[in-house]
Chains A and B, each alone.
Chain A
Amino acid sequence: GQNIDQPTEMTATEGAIVQINCTYQTSGFNGLFWYQQHAGEAPTFLSYNVLDGLEEKGRFSSFLSRSKGYSYLLLKELQMKDSASYLCAVRERDYKLSFGAGTTVTVRA
């Protein structure tokens, strides 16, 4: 099984940076995903890490440390539209995705 932990809520101001941490325990790690989900909608893919290190994609970056069972999603130059839930998901060798409970990010003007 797996145990995925991430903070419940975070608040930041427009233009700022926010870092969402995720810790996990899994028996067969095969990649870590970050998804963005707006209320009432399906998740949309943000990033994927399978090797240690930082993956940068525009305003969003994701970091992974497999030995520590740790990842973070970094959101830079926050915009109001970034207010959403951010889901950390761990993929196992059978390609099943297990999701954390999600972090609700609120961006204030």
Chain B
Amino acid sequence: GAVVSQHPSWVICKSGTSVKIECRSLDFQATTMFWYRQFPKQSLMLMATSNEGSKATYEQGVEKDKFLINHASLTLSTLTVTSAHPEDSSFYICSARTGNTIYFGEGSWLTVV
């Protein structure tokens, strides 16, 4: 079974609204969680690195005010896409690190209409 769970798997939202995606490590405490975005037929692009109790570190070109990341506990990180637009439609994937091992979540498809 999955060791990193993402919710929701699919979400459709209206343009201008916000949507939250959760990433949970189910049976381990994640030192660090990472958020990726993948557009169709492209590779995974790292958006930000999230450490529990501290501010996320965003990659160059990723707007921190648009993609809010909260890492409230060692088992939960959330990504909120604020004021979503159709160009934000993508596959969002989180991963969680414990020691040297990285586990990926199942991914969340976001469609903004």
Contact = CB atoms under 8 A, between A and B. Distances in A.
Interface string A73-109: 0000000000000010001001111111110000000
B42 interface: yes
Given A43-B44, A87-B43, A87-B44, A96 B106 contact: no
A42 B97 contact: no
B102 interface: yes
A95 B32 contact: yes
Contacts of A44: 104
A97 B95 contact: yes
Contacts, number: 39
Interface string A49-69: 000000000000000000000
B67 interface: no
Contacts of B93: 42-43
Interface of A: 31, 33, 40-45, 87, 91, 94-102
